[in-house]
Structure 1
Amino acid sequence: MNSLMPTPPTAVLPFVDPFGFGRAACDYWRDALERSMLYMDVMRLRGNQYLEHIEQTKPSVLGFETEVLMDGRELPRPVNYELLRVAPPEGGVTDPQMRPFVVVDPRAGHGPGIGGFKPDSEIGIALRAGHPCYFIGFLPYPVPGQTVEDVVEAEIAFLRHVGERHQETCEKPMVVGNCQAGWQIMMAASLEPDLFGPILIAGAPLSYWAGEHGRAPMRYTGGMSGGSWMTALLSDLGAGLFDGAFLVQNFERLNPANTWWHKQYRLYSRIDTEASRYLEFERWWGGHVVLGGEEIQYIVDNLFVGNRLSTAQLVTSDGRRIDLRNVRSPVVVFCSRGDDITPPPQALGWVRDLYEGVEDIIANEQTIVYCVHDTTGHLGIFVSGSVSRKEHAEFTANMDYIDVLPPGLYETTVSSAAERSDAELIERDYLLEFTPRTVEELDREVQHCPEDDTRFATVARISEINLGLYRLFLQPWIRALATPESAKWMRRMHPNRLGYRLLSDRNPLMVPVPVLAERVRAERHPLGEDNLFRVIESIVSDQITRGLNAWRDLRDSSIERLFLDLYGQPLLQALVGLGGDAHVHRRRPGAEPEHLRFIERRQSELREHIAEGGHHEAVMRALIHVLGGAPATDERNFKRLRTSRSELEPAASLADFKRLVRDQFFILTLDHQAALEAIPALLEGQTAAQIDEHLAHIEHVLAASGELSEHAADRFEHIKALFAQARPATPSLPSPGDAGTAPAPAAAIKPATATAARKTKRAKPAGGRAPEGGDKS
């Protein structure tokens, strides 16, 4: 190619082209032609990779060796899911005594494997930490007749099997659910809470009506299409199967600048270095699967449009209510403000839907932790290597800490050790910190709007009407005309699938592409970034991206305005039965009278245990008090406390230790003053040396995170005073006239409440006589 482009002698160039524009233009033109040819070859490889991938029996992008432990097709209610054991990479070792780690893949149009298709992934991080890892993936085609409920029951069976394999660990599996898998495992955990350890849901939508105006365009899709009848139509045209390519297409429309230009231009502009990364991602992004018509209809009706999961309105076929308040495991919600598919309001709105306040969360014995990333996109939450090495690595390393967190609502942040003044006290590169939050503070992320609830309730009613009309008038005709063969051709002709097939070796027009690309690689002349025309190309690309982004913003704002105006019409709301003021548009389970009675009864039961226990309870209560209401401000105190658990209570198991922490937090939350005043009574019977040892232990744990704040130091002084009250009085030497008389007893500590007085043993003097004039209450 270079020989066909003669150039004048070097000595003549300054006279012919004094400013170098001509040479820059020729160099740019040659580089542009070479990049174009290499780009077309990458597109050809992408098409070949796509065809090879979808023709596999079990396509997956999982980057680790696996072994099938359970096949969902063999269950009593068969499904197209599998439980896989993930083998560690060569040279890696897992410890069977450590907590098992289970990743559940999302089934939202793409193929399986996204949670572990790179070394720096959720599975990769867990394997490096030594955890036995398992993966719940799926096959490209559903079992005929399978339902969402069948899938949830299969995941329960898989988790039960994992638990049986690791009974000796005494630790329940940590379960990670990405995107759509998040709501699936939350449904499973609400039905069988005893099977689950800590739960991490990453980018998982649970509250579909929630969203901030101007930043949640996808939530209007159901309303602008008239409800779920379109889903039923596409499933009928697919002969009972719904093509996941339609879901992927919806995702791509959210960011047309990236879909139509930036992603492809990035490859074209960096063709010499970007090809392998691009092909790796496209292998998963283009691996479209299908869903059963009944499955997707259930999802759209009950979740996307009906929003029944976050309001405890789902009921299984055998009558069990799916109530997320039944989940007993700590729940970690990981979301991002840069995510336009599952923005923070949709990931966190379920907390506000189910609970009126933090005291409600505590009474339900639930621990909810949320982490909001500032910039990463939807896929970056569980795909980005930087996120996996930071947030996911910290979540994995601190599972036990999260598992022992007392009930309540917390926001967690991950800070770099290098940027902290106390870096010498931090073991790893990052530090996980927890801050207690209230439901009112959470509302800053949720941005709840009551008027929107009425609008979305109107959409749900209209969806039911339109779906009923479709089923009555059109569905019989569509089902009569659709055949498996027509459905197959409809899937093959989908634009998202056709683009891969046309740019593959199966297209005769692509035959010369690999030959020309090979010649270009042999005689490649890459162009420097300082070339004038390359700079202009970059500027033009930025302008195209900005133009597409402006068009997207105009489109989204117009759709939002139309949605709000249309479904906010009082006449339309009245026509669908939502005009009455007494009608509850959005169920609030936390405000229902029977639930409020449960909270009151639960609090009354806990108050009866304020003065029960011994020195273990006293020490833990003191620690929680000093640290401001949580067992630790960050992971360091917990690690110090857990390491020294053998000193505090040698015979106690880790489960007993966690129960101790949670119970004492409960008691302090219910009646802080009475709980503190009962500490001397809990220490009754301890010697002075033992009390000094307990104080030294508390100080040892507190020192893990550095110097105490002024407020914490004052609280510690208060604890020292309470422990001093429990110190036995030193008996004075008897005088000759008092020989044989026992020393007077120490003053009795009056319990804070009548209940505490009944629970506390009263001191007696030597000889068994009750003290004269003592408190007989």
Structure 2
Amino acid sequence: MANALPPSGNPAVDYLIDATQRTILFFDTLRERSREYQEHMAKKAPHVLHFPFEPVRDGRRLERPVNYGLIRILPAAATPTDPQKRPIVVIDPRAGHGPGIGGFKPDSEIGVALASGHPCYFVGFLTEPVEGQTVLDVVDALAAFVAEVAGRHPDAEGAPLVIGNCQAGWAVAMAAAARPAAFGPLLLAGAPLAYWQGTHGHAPMRYTGGLAGGTWLTAMAGDLGAGTFDGGWLVSNFENMNPANTFWTKQYRLWSRIDTEAPRYLEFERWWGGHALLGAQEMQWIADELFVGNRLVSGGIRANDGTRIDLRNVKGPIVVFCSKGDDITPPPQALGWILELYRDVDDIRAHDQTIVYSVHDETGHLGIFVSGAVAKKEHREFTSNIDLIDVLPPGLFEAVLTRAGPDTPNAHLVAGEWVLHFEPRTLDDIRALGCNDEEDDRRFAAVSRLSDINLGLYRTFLQPWIRAAVTPEMAQTMRRLQPARLPYEMFGQKNDAFEALQDLAKLVRAHRRPAPPDNPFLQAQQLFSDMMVAALENWRETRDGAVEQAFLGIYGQPFLQALLGLRASDEPPRARPGDAPEHRAFVQAQEEALRGRIGQGTPADALIRALAWVITPGGRVDERTFAALKILREEHPHCHDATLAAFKARVREQTAILRQDDDAAIEALPALLPDEARAGFVPMLRHLAEAAGPPVPASAERLARIEKLLDGSGQQPVPAAPPSPPAPPAAEPSAALPRRVAPRTRRPRARKGPA
């Protein structure tokens, strides 16, 4: 506003001029939005990625072709990738919008990965599906892409970290369950996996299928699209969740701040308006099998090769990131699958799974993978500490972040501004976030059965007529008139009126006269806006409450449930996946084998066993402990060439031995430590135990017991929270432990394949 003119001194005149100018600039911004929309959609492969890239693999050339593709993100010269760091694969949701939101701006999931030196890949898609492709074909393609990435980085310490945003999360989880070998840790950001779960008074979208009578409307939408499903309808459903923002706040913010808001608005709208299409059979499968059927968590889905997709088969750690402010994927839907698959934490451990979750307090659904603040905090910490997550023992943990400060013990071991630690949790902690009771499950089971009936009736009596009547031209016209697309189409027409608007906007910018901030009419304007937001919020709450009460009342009727084939209330409304006899036998055999290995192992095994036992009373695993242990692993003369996978296996075995009989396991430590390996053992153990701060009294007692058990080394304790990594007292170094723990330069390795 370098050419801004001074106010006239009359508040009414100043406001009238300002409001008129803002209105002209507002509609000119909508015109510009439509112009960019048309240019964007005219591209062969529209996307909003901020980063340069090179293609790697085209999904249309797979045995079962899909409209997906794998690309490699090119790092900047200032931040080259480290070939020894595990690659990161970001996969965007195909939920109505086009690809690129995971790398939408510098502070994003991709930006964080590149800044940390990880090779980074992205899986995107075209706006139109390949004819005949299915969801299971997409799952196979994702598995093939991740295997491709793993093969391109043979020197990396660890299999790829795969980030699945929103609906990409369940697709990635299915791929990792069907083809677990190629996948490393999974980060599921805002991804729904348990579609029935929720709490009363929240997340009313889960009731939509019931009030629509099931998924027959999805089938009709696909037929009206001549075999394609318009992603604009998914966007409309999203927008209807928050009418205050959709119908007022977003537009008002642009209009009231037109001099500064337009660039940010247009940047986001490039993605928000880039609607994509799905195959009708894809969307129908998603609605039938997932949204209404909820068959992913019951083991009722099979891959193309007949493999049963069981999420308990995922081998890498599963990190779930969700938010209490997310109405699209609330925490119960992001985490409820844990309750549906496992009896307790011991059951999680029996399946050798590590599950980590983090619940944000307020960010919305898009903020989970769009917000720069979230990228700088949660995503950066997950990325920086992914090796720690990968070696966590089996179990359930909550990731907790606390800001590092001058008083943080051993702050030099912290990777960023936040200290990440993992608190052990139980299934009751998940239940506390909200979950269904059995009556709720019976209601949703009734919806699933009614949906199958209505879908069968539609396919028998209506579908043939609709398919015969709809032509591709009619489907294209209906897409252009779709409510989410229409505003972009409407302001994009080339005519004299919009050309005149563009010229008028140039004149306004040259003679801009904003009203002073203390103008009373501006204050009245803001008051009116607040009233509009409050009214729309009240309407939303009334609507959502009515929807919930209608759903609960209709599908809670015993007569309707009985009519749909649901039996007495003492019978579970749906089957839960059970344990195969082979798996139970395998777990029992493993436990017996572990008990036989209590007295076996190396000095390195002894150190990990002792450390795990000592820090257990503190109830957390801290990134500083792992950082110190990682330095030890690199400096250890017999371990610095060991792979992260081998280190992970050692940690898991020793923690499993402790779970079998921790008292016997600790008493067996002398058998694992020859005399020459004991001299520096206790000081090193103490140093590692105190890396995260002074140990709790119970941990100190355990340290003392180990020292006494090893007949006392005579060493002095390492001071708590030292300013730099302490060294053991001058003594003959053992063959198993380094003389000191200190940071060192990474040893380069010969590369065996392309970056």
Contact 1:176 1:182 in 2 (8 A): yes
Query: In structure 2, how many angstroms separate the alpha carbons of the residues matched to 1:638 and 1:317?
Result: 40
Question: For structure 1, which segment, 645-654 or 385-394, has the greater mean C-alpha deviation from structure 2 after superposition?
Answer: 645-654
Question: 454, 457, 478: which one pairs with 2:466?
Answer: 478
- CA distance 1:112–1:427, shift in 2 (3 Å): closer
Partner of 2:702: 715
Query: In structure 2, how many angstroms separate the alpha carbons of the residues matched to 1:593 and 1:283?
Result: 52
Task: Name the aligned partner's letter for residue 194 of structure 1.
Answer: A
1:674 counterpart SS class? helix
Quick check: 1:698 aligned with 2:688? no
* Equivalent residues in 2 for 1:484-633, closer than 5 Å: 484-581=472-569, 583-589=571-577, 599-628=587-616, 633=621
Query: In structure 1, how many angstroms separate the alpha carbons of the residues matched to 2:475 and 2:155?
Result: 50
Partner of 1:388: 375
2:254 counterpart SS class? helix
Partner of 2:441: 453
Partner of 1:354: 341
Query: In structure 2, how many angstroms separate the alpha carbons of the residues matched to 1:612 and 1:214?
Result: 55
Q: Deviations over 1:652-696 (max 9, x none)?
A: 33222111111111111232222222222222xx11x52121112
Question: 667, 685, 692: which one pairs with 1:677?
Answer: 667
Question: For structure 1, which segment, 595-604 or 364-373, has the greater mean C-alpha deviation from structure 2 after superposition?
Answer: 595-604
Quick check: 1:104 aligned with 2:94? no
Q: Deviations over 1:305-341 (max 9, x none)?
A: 0001112111124321000000000010000000000
* Equivalent residues in 2 for 1:110-121, closer than 5 Å: 110-121=97-108
Query: In structure 2, how many angstroms separate the alpha carbons of the residues matched to 1:326 and 1:658?
Result: 18
Question: For structure 1, which segment, 504-513 or 401-410, has the greater mean C-alpha deviation from structure 2 after superposition?
Answer: 504-513
Q: Deviations over 1:343-387 (max 9, x none)?
A: 000000011110000001111110000000000000000000000
Contact 2:7 2:14 in 1 (8 A): no
Contact 2:424 2:619 in 1 (8 A): no
Query: In structure 2, how many angstroms separate the alpha carbons of the residues matched to 1:603 and 1:95?
Result: 39
Contact 1:66 1:87 in 2 (8 A): yes
Query: In structure 2, how many angstroms separate the alpha carbons of the residues matched to 1:290 and 1:272?
Result: 35
* TM-score, length of structure 1 as denominator length: 0.88
1:704 counterpart SS class? coil
2:485 counterpart SS class? helix
Larger CA Rg, structure 1 vs 2: 1
1:332 counterpart SS class? strand
Question: 34, 41, 44: which one pairs with 2:28?
Answer: 41
Query: In structure 1, how many angstroms separate the alpha carbons of the residues matched to 2:432 and 2:6?
Result: 66
Contact 1:355 1:590 in 2 (8 A): no
Contact 1:355 1:589 in 2 (8 A): no
Query: In structure 1, how many angstroms separate the alpha carbons of the residues matched to 2:708 and 2:173?
Result: 45
Task: Quote the offset at 1:590 in angstroms.
Answer: 5.1
Quick check: 1:284 aligned with 2:284? no
Partner of 1:663: 653
Contact 1:406 1:630 in 2 (8 A): no
Query: In structure 1, how many angstroms separate the alpha carbons of the residues matched to 2:268 and 2:83?
Result: 32
Q: Deviations over 1:21-42 (max 9, x none)?
A: xx22221111111111111111
Give me the identity figure in percent. 53
Question: For structure 1, which segment, 421-430 or 568-577, has the greater mean C-alpha deviation from structure 2 after superposition?
Answer: 421-430
Q: Deviations over 1:69-91 (max 9, x none)?
A: 10000111000000001111353
Task: Quote the offset at 1:529 in angstroms.
Answer: 2.5
Q: Deviations over 1:146-191 (max 9, x none)?
A: 0001001111111111111101224211100000000001000001
Q: Deviations over 1:411-441 (max 9, x none)?
A: 0112211386548454521111110001122
Partner of 1:751: none
Task: Name the aligned partner's letter for residue 269 of structure 1.
Answer: S
Quick check: 1:237 aligned with 2:237? no
Task: Quote the offset at 1:722 in angstroms.
Answer: 2.2
- CA distance 1:668–1:6, shift in 2 (3 Å): closer
Query: In structure 2, how many angstroms separate the alpha carbons of the residues matched to 1:562 and 1:632?
Result: 44
Contact 1:360 1:599 in 2 (8 A): no
Query: In structure 2, how many angstroms separate the alpha carbons of the residues matched to 1:548 and 1:507?
Result: 35
- CA distance 1:714–1:337, shift in 2 (3 Å): same
Partner of 2:145: 158
* Equivalent residues in 2 for 1:165-244, closer than 5 Å: 165-244=152-231
2:647 counterpart SS class? helix
Partner of 2:644: 654
Number of positions where the alignment pairs a residue of Structure 1 with one of Structure 2: 707
Question: 438, 442, 458: which one pairs with 2:430?
Answer: 442
Query: In structure 1, how many angstroms separate the alpha carbons of the residues matched to 2:560 and 2:585?
Result: 37
**Alignment RMSD (CA, Å):** 2.1
Contact 1:363 1:602 in 2 (8 A): no
Partner of 1:733: none
Task: Quote the offset at 1:442 in angstroms.
Answer: 1.5
Question: 32, 36, 40: which one pairs with 1:53?
Answer: 40
Task: Name the aligned partner's letter for residue 219 of structure 2.
Answer: A
Task: Name the aligned partner's letter for residue 655 of structure 1.
Answer: A
Query: In structure 2, how many angstroms separate the alpha carbons of the residues matched to 1:277 and 1:218?
Result: 29
Partner of 2:400: 413
* TM-score, length of structure 2 as denominator length: 0.91
Q: Deviations over 1:705-747 (max 9, x none)?
A: 22222222112112212222899xxxxxxxxxxxxxxxxxxxx
* Equivalent residues in 2 for 1:243-322, closer than 5 Å: 243-322=230-309
Contact 1:257 1:549 in 2 (8 A): yes
Query: In structure 2, how many angstroms separate the alpha carbons of the residues matched to 1:616 and 1:664?
Result: 10
Query: In structure 2, how many angstroms separate the alpha carbons of the residues matched to 1:150 and 1:206?
Result: 19
Task: Quote the offset at 1:631 in angstroms.
Answer: 10
- CA distance 1:220–1:706, shift in 2 (3 Å): same
Gapped regions of structure 1 (runs ≥ 5): 9-19, 728-777
Quick check: 1:369 aligned with 2:356? yes
Partner of 1:27: 14
2:710 counterpart SS class? helix
Higher RCO structure, 1 or 2 (CA under 8 Å, sep 6+): 2
Query: In structure 1, how many angstroms separate the alpha carbons of the residues matched to 2:406 and 2:514?
Result: 40
- CA distance 1:153–1:619, shift in 2 (3 Å): same
Task: Quote the offset at 1:629 in angstroms.
Answer: 6.6
Question: For structure 1, which segment, 444-453 or 111-120, has the greater mean C-alpha deviation from structure 2 after superposition?
Answer: 444-453
Query: In structure 1, how many angstroms separate the alpha carbons of the residues matched to 2:610 and 2:145?
Result: 41
Query: In structure 2, how many angstroms separate the alpha carbons of the residues matched to 1:169 and 1:81?
Result: 25
Task: Quote the offset at 1:581 in angstroms.
Answer: 4.3
Query: In structure 2, how many angstroms separate the alpha carbons of the residues matched to 1:604 and 1:309?
Result: 33
Task: Name the aligned partner's letter for residue 55 of structure 1.
Answer: A
Contact 1:236 1:293 in 2 (8 A): yes
Task: Quote the offset at 1:584 in angstroms.
Answer: 3.2
Contact 1:314 1:322 in 2 (8 A): yes
Query: In structure 1, how many angstroms separate the alpha carbons of the residues matched to 2:236 and 2:411?
Result: 49
Contact 2:128 2:278 in 1 (8 A): yes
Task: Name the aligned partner's letter for residue 622 of structure 1.
Answer: A
2:678 counterpart SS class? helix
Task: Quote the offset at 1:227 in angstroms.
Answer: 0.4
Task: Name the aligned partner's letter for residue 416 of structure 2.
Answer: R
Task: Name the aligned partner's letter for residue 530 of structure 1.
Answer: D
Query: In structure 2, how many angstroms separate the alpha carbons of the residues matched to 1:574 and 1:601?
Result: 44
Query: In structure 1, how many angstroms separate the alpha carbons of the residues matched to 2:419 and 2:281?
Result: 45
Contact 1:624 1:631 in 2 (8 A): no
Contact 1:681 1:726 in 2 (8 A): no
Gapped regions of structure 2 (runs ≥ 5): 715-755
Partner of 1:763: none
